[in-house]
């Protein structure tokens, strides 16, 4: 008998692997009639000091990310997942998801892609490896 999940957290960043992770999370959520939480991280370290001081820029980035997440939410709903919500957090993706999001959301599965779309982490150590190592829940890394 397959393990069933009640609450699935999936990280998205538009990388090819994250899109595959999202598709996998949709299938698992449909199979288990689970809640699907779609998370994206606004990475502060990618912004210059001038951008971080410019609240209009931050609000614009946040609004763009929220609009994009709504597309993911709609895609999951169209695919047949009935309980879908979205979240945005800020900071280092792996650390934010492990230290802030998981304790707050209490998922029983984290689904993530193996590569990041951008940033230093793509080349110097994997966010996926960090999350797989430190997450207190089951982690499915998709590639």
Asked if 113 contacts 11 with a C-beta cutoff of 8 angstroms, the reply is: yes
Distances (CA, A) of 24 to 4, 28, 47: 14, 6, 31
For position 2, what pLDDT does the model report?
A: 73
Q: Is the pLDDT of residue 114 over 90?
A: no
Are residues 57 and 29 in contact, defined by beta-carbon separation less than 8 angstroms? no
Using only C-alpha atoms, the chain has a radius of gyration, in whole angstroms, of 15
Name the percent of the chain lying above pLDDT 90.
59
The 3-state DSSP class for residue 127 equals helix
Average pLDDT over residues 7-22: 92
Could you give the domains of the chain? 7-142 (3.40.50.620)
Whole-angstrom distance, CA of residue 95 vs CA of residue 21: 19
| Cβ neighbours around 38 below 10 Å, total | 24
The per-residue pLDDT for 1 is 60
Query: The tokens of 92 are what?
Result: 């280092």
Torsion on CA atoms 114, 67, 46, 137, rounded to nearest 10: -40
**What is the structure's pLDDT at 44?**
63
Residue 13 pLDDT greater than 90, yes or no? no
pLDDT of amino acid 115: 75
Q: What is the pTM of this model?
A: 0.86
């Amino acid at each position: 008998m397959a393990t069933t999940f009640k609450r699935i957290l999936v990280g998205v960043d538009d990388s090819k692997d994250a899109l595959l992770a999202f598709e996998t999370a949709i299938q698992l959520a449909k199979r288990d009639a689970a809640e699907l939480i779609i998370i994206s991280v606004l990475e502060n370290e990618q912004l210059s000091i001038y951008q971080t001081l410019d609240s209009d820029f931050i609000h614009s980035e946040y609004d763009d990310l929220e609009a994009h997440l709504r597309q993911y939410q709609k895609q999951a709903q169209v695919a047949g997942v009935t309980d879908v919500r979205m979240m945005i957090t800020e900071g280092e993706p792996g650390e934010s998801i492990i230290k802030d999001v998981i304790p707050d959301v209490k998922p029983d599965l984290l689904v993530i892609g193996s590569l990041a779309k951008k940033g230093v982490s793509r080349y110097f150590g994997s966010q996926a490896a960090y999350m797989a190592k430190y997450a207190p829940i089951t982690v499915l890394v998709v590639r």
